[in-house]
Amino acid sequence: MLRRSIHLLVHCPAFSLFVAFDLVKMQKYICRMDKQQVLFRDLGNMDYKEAWDYQESLLKENTRKKSLVFSRESVVSSQDSELRTLNSELSTQHYLLFVEHPPVYTLGKSGNIENVLMSEVQLEENGIQFFRTNRGGDITFHGDQQIVGYPILDLEKFYTDIGKYLRNLEEVIIQTMADYGLKGARSAGETGVWLDPDIPGRERKICAMGVRTSRWITMHGFAFNVNTDLSYFNNIIPCGIQNKQVTSLEKELGKKIDFEEAKERVKKNFEKVFEVELVSCEL
């Protein structure tokens, strides 16, 4: 019906200029309607535990909605219009959170505590927090001028494949690095984004990743070094990988990077790779 109406208007001379202009806006609107929306929130600088608790609350709300929908579907026909309305109201919500953390080391659930090279006393003396987490991966560092991204996505609305999800997160960072003229790459068997991963002695990791899922809802995510103080990585064996370096955009390009611009580039590439629309919202 929409196509027929457009066809009739296009062939009406009185409206030809109006339609030519309006069709561009209409086409953009239709494209937006085809994409899933992801609510974007920049949490600024936030304590690690506070951000972790917030992620957990969003994940639990989404898993609660899934449980309610599943329980109703088990007793009511899926053709029932009332059920379809309830399911729509209980639809899960996607989020992308950006945050910077005060200096903190986080250890994945399968990580080795021996990869932390400081004692509890030394950590406290240097004002560095430490947390054992429920994400995958080993030890990493979070600090100022590092883009930490926490996608809370319902993968059942995309694909039920954790490997593909991680590769797509890597692709977001790889494309962002390309915006700066850098060639990001993957390292076989090692999640994250690297430079020169196949050249012994020159391997440099610029983005660490570790995720958790529950009922295909994701949390945790990636840590992309922009102007990050890399000296903090000297106190750990990053990601439990021996004899490999850590780097940042600042180090690779030899200059300070506009942090807000870097965040915008990551957001743009997230939209492109995941084929979604980010919608900014307040807490």
Catalytic positions, written as ranges: 239
β-strand pairing of 185-187 with 245-246 = unpaired
DSSP character string of 182-208: ---EEETTEEEEEESTTSTTT-EEEEE
At 272, the amino acid letter reads K
- Establish how many alpha carbons lie within 13 A of residue 111's alpha carbon, considering only the half-sphere containing its beta carbon: 26
Tokens 């996505």 belong to 153
Coil vs helix vs strand at 37: strand
Please tell me the distance from the alpha carbon of residue 88 to that of residue 233, in angstroms, as a whole number. 46
Q: Could you give the CA distance from residue 46 to residue 129 in angstroms, rounded to a whole number?
A: 13
Tokens of 44: 């600024």
Torsion angle defined by CA atoms of residues 119, 45, 225 and 180, in that order, rounded to the nearest 10 degrees:
-170
Helix (H, G, I), strand (E, B) or coil at 82: helix
Give the integer Cα–Cα distance in Å for 259 and 145: 7
Task: Show the tokens assigned to 180.
Answer: 């700066």
Neighbours of 13 (CB within 10 A): 7
